[in-house]
Structure 1
């Protein structure tokens, strides 16, 4: 008997602006995010609390529609490395038939972009491509609730690399 195939899924539109300096790339939205059509919608995902700490503004406490313009005002953008895939559930390990987003116009859309942060190891596999394009890259511990073995404080410490540029 053939096994049923995983559903074919399409990701979310990028959250970018010409003033974006730091782009956070996840792998692909989880089921809760796709259902809500919101980045990092799972209530236990730590992305919004981390970004609140990095920006000094309670983004996590704002309604989603108000978070995005405030995030952009702080120079951050959000997107995923994959634009489509097949997956049952929310785990990156379940992703099949991945299709990368088209990053060819990124410099045109975000001329001030300097740093690309990868939210977890799956998206981090794309770091060499972005480093070769001249961006500073930082592979970060995943904000996903599936990575609960790393504490919020440990994650936040690592994520501070996005805003604390190394001295040249």
Structure 2
């Protein structure tokens, strides 16, 4: 098994307002070629509830619903070396981040970056934010609890409530 991990391209629609960032896809996601592909990851159950779609919908339909709701999805890291799936196993010296300035230039309506967990937040602020334009640095950020099954210190219900508290109002604005 290779320790070099390469992330997915972003999922971005026409005019996203919210960018959700993970750190780097885990092994199950990489094998499936899907964001949050581990069957016990809480991301898709949370998002399908927020978006009001059937949790059994396929991956393409779920990502289409995200785009329609003004949500973009990406990871902070473009590449890294890691054995297994845990963020704690990432070799810091191996991290190469994605080109966020290009994304923000292409998507000027993004006004919130929501981090799926602490590693995404820490690495964004450490490795990405200092190199951004003043306008991009001014985009609001917030950390949400990791949806990873490895983050077992919080129940899935508590995770869902935290995500809903931040995103439900934003989705209602888009719908109106």
Same fold (TM over 0.5): yes
Contact 2:48–2:62 (Cα < 8 Å) also in 1: no
Q: Residue by residue, what CA displacement relative to the aligned partner does 1:62-113 show, whole Å, maximum 9, x if unpaired?
A: 1112221111001111100000000110000001111111111122322211
Q: Aligned ranges for residues 36-75 of structure 1 at < 5 Å?
A: 36-58=32-54, 60-75=55-70
Q: CA deviation at 1:61?
A: 1.6
Q: TM-score, normalised by structure 1?
A: 0.87
Select which of 95, 120, 123 maps to 1:123.
120
Q: TM-score, normalised by structure 2?
A: 0.83
Contact 2:25–2:36 (Cα < 8 Å) also in 1: yes
SS at match of 1:79: strand
Residue 94 (str. 1) matches residue 81 (str. 2): no
SS at match of 2:39: coil
Residue 142 (str. 1) matches residue 163 (str. 2): no
Alpha carbon RMSD of aligned pairs, Å? 2.0
Higher helix share: 2
Residue 84 (str. 1) matches residue 89 (str. 2): no
- Equivalent residue pairs, number: 160
Runs of at least 5 residues in structure 2 that lack an aligned partner in the other structure: 171-176
Runs of at least 5 residues in structure 1 that lack an aligned partner in the other structure: none
Which contiguous aligned blocks of 4+ residues in structure 1 show a shift greater than 4 angstroms? none
